[in-house]
Structure 1
Amino acid sequence: MQDKEQTGIVFNMQKYSVHDGAGIRTMVFFKGCPLRCAWCSNPESQRTMPERGFNGRKCLSPAVCGRCIPACPKGCILDIEGLLAIDRTRCDGCLACAGACPSGAMSVYGQRLSVAEVLETVEQDAVFYARSGGGMTLSGGEVMQQPEFALALLREARRRRINTVMETCGHCDGDMLAEACRYLDSLIFDIKQLDAQRHKTGTGVGNERILENFARVCREFPELPILVRTPVIPGFNDAEDDIRAIARFLPKRANLVYELLPYHRMGQAKYEFLGRAFPMGGTQLADGLMRRLKEVALAR
């Protein structure tokens, strides 16, 4: 199979991004992630296969529409006192309800696309990349959850001279990650916590594999620019000692930059659409904390 025919599941393509690599970029968001971070702002990215979301505020109501009710072969969509309800325990993921919905209240997170289809969208903004030094950034979820698709996309992008950046949590096959690095212009690598047990408590997995992969990338690709990111999460890694430990762990090299990202709740509504509870509740960062932690990070 040629690279341009390889397929994978993407849940979003975002144009005109300026925060995830140099210049103006198109973000390609892969579905699937091995982590289950309590603060995840893209919960629709966690499961690999396409899934249904329901935004009740867009629903026209069963009295006005109700097309999704007969469309569901399992009888999961219910009219309860004039309001639409979903019995998610009976859903088999056929997504027929979303196909029948005219208002967009029922939506599908994720679609299978080929490398050629992704790059057709990416190349629509080639003029902006040329002027700004931008290109394509792969993100997720975790890109390396679909390694064959990711590698095919990166190889074909290299053939078309598209600048490529990839964001990774690092919890992936080290050989596949190393292979991906061969085709990257830069890498964004998340390091969330150096304490293995606390990392597992917050994300569902330990950090041993992540740190091993990070060390390997630094060792085998000394010329590859790396942006290391730490999302600062209340109660997880928001102490000065947490950030200081990560900052001191990072090798001192001219093409490595360390960046802190403040916790936010912008993805909270998506949990409701997916029928899940938002794990972080009303948690917030303390006032002035980010300023102090950025000073710690700069002191590395």
Structure 2
Amino acid sequence: MNQPLIFDIKRYAINDGPGIRITLFLKGCPLQCKWCHNPESQLPNVQKLYTASKCIGAQECVKLCPEDALSLTPQGIVTDYRLCTLCGICADACPSKAIEMSGRVYDVQELMAIVERERIHIRQSGGGVTFSGGEPLMHPDFLLTMLKACGENGLHRAVDTCGFAPSETVLEVAQQTDLFLFDLKLMDEAKHKKWTGVSNRLILKNLKALAKSGANINIRVPFIRHVNTDHNTLTEMAAFIAGLPGKTPPVNILPYHAIAANKYNKLGLSYLPLNMDEPTEAEQNRAVAVFSKFGIEAEIGG
């Protein structure tokens, strides 16, 4: 079984499905959304993060690096990635945690032990386990094994997905999933390619297939000014959702916030927000009204 990397485990999560949950974040995503709040989730491999403001200049990392890939400069610690093997020794040695490694392998037993420690909060709140990312459907064998283990232990299971995966995988996962948190970003294919790097044809096909299968779905719309807040986009989206077979899924409108720049800096990347902006309260309320006209239950956040 292919073992994906986990880059975060979030306990007491209250926005990733019903109740108090534990959310497991898997690395790797087929989309490259311009607004991505978790840039460390996009690549499936281990990455190094560096926070210059935390660095105290101890230089333990420099001394212990087996490849001599680190140096202390006026700008802080600099890594020569031509030499760095991402072994993580520098992160272990850093007393201030200015250097962190993103992504490690957990086996199923280890993860289930972590989940079990949260069972009291899960049980009392009607919560469960959510698999997020990145894109968890990129790792179907591991995901299915975890979903089955959670099901055997009486745990509610949610999968947070962009929907860009083979339809056979989506429907197989649906048999072991209690709730899909399904991202719907744009309806226009050209705009979807511009903002995410991929076509939305497969995504829309999979959403229809899930609805037809009777899967429990919550649609989540990352709501970004100048991207998808206009009336035509919202009307197209609402018409599509209202036309899905079976029960009409509810919609959570998730307002964009420009809070990700610091994470990009940690990865040594530039955050390019382009023309994106936070939606106004009036735009958010108009979106709820558009969905409501189509008989869709919609709310801000969640």
Q: Give 3-state SS (helix, strand or coil) of 2:91's partner.
A: helix
Q: Give 3-state SS (helix, strand or coil) of 2:232's partner.
A: helix
1:69 and 1:48, CA in 2 relative to 1: closer, same or farther beyond 3 A?
Answer: same
Cα pair 1:50 1:108 within 8 Å, conserved: yes
Give the C-alpha shift of residue 252 in structure 1: 6.4
Question: For structure 1, which segment, 146-155 or 76-85, has the greater mean C-alpha deviation from structure 2 after superposition?
Answer: 76-85
TM-score (norm 1): 0.91
* Cα deviation code 1:70-115 (max 9, x no counterpart): 3334433222248322334553433332232222111011110011
Q: Count residues in correspondence.
A: 291
Q: Which amino acid aligns with 2:187?
A: L
Give the C-alpha shift of residue 292 in structure 1: 1.3
Q: Give 3-state SS (helix, strand or coil) of 2:250's partner.
A: strand
* Cα deviation code 1:252-282 (max 9, x no counterpart): 6436112211011222211010000112168
Two-structure CA RMSD over aligned residues (Å): 1.9
1:87 aligns with 2:83: no
What is the CA–CA distance in structure 1 between the aligned matches of 2:194 and 2:248, rounded to whole Å?
A: 32
Aligned residue number for residue 11 of structure 1: 7
Aligned residue number for residue 297 of structure 1: 291
1:66 aligns with 2:59: yes
Task: Specify which of 194, 204, 221 is matched with residue 211 of structure 1.
Answer: 204
1:271 aligns with 2:264: yes
Cα pair 2:226 2:277 within 8 Å, conserved: no
Task: Specify which of 93, 111, 114 is matched with residue 107 of structure 2.
Answer: 114
For structure 2, the residue ranges without an aligned partner over 5 or more in a row are: 295-302
Aligned residue number for residue 22 of structure 1: 18
1:20 and 1:193, CA in 2 relative to 1: closer, same or farther beyond 3 A?
Answer: same
1:78 and 1:213, CA in 2 relative to 1: closer, same or farther beyond 3 A?
Answer: same
Give the C-alpha shift of residue 8 in structure 1: 2.9
1:225 aligns with 2:254: no
* Cα deviation code 1:7-43 (max 9, x no counterpart): 4311111111111111111111111100100100011
* Cα deviation code 1:127-171 (max 9, x no counterpart): 222222111011111001111111110011111111101111011
1:1-300, aligned counterparts within 5 Å? Answer: 7-61=3-57, 65-81=58-74, 83-88=76-81, 90-219=83-212, 221-222=213-214, 224-250=215-241, 251=244, 253-254=246-247, 256-280=249-273, 283-287=276-280, 288-300=282-294
Cα pair 2:258 2:278 within 8 Å, conserved: no
Q: Give 3-state SS (helix, strand or coil) of 2:247's partner.
A: coil
What is the CA–CA distance in structure 2 between the aligned matches of 1:285 and 1:252, rounded to whole Å?
A: 33
Give the C-alpha shift of residue 232 in structure 1: 1.0
What is the CA–CA distance in structure 2 between the aligned matches of 1:71 and 1:270, rounded to whole Å?
A: 25
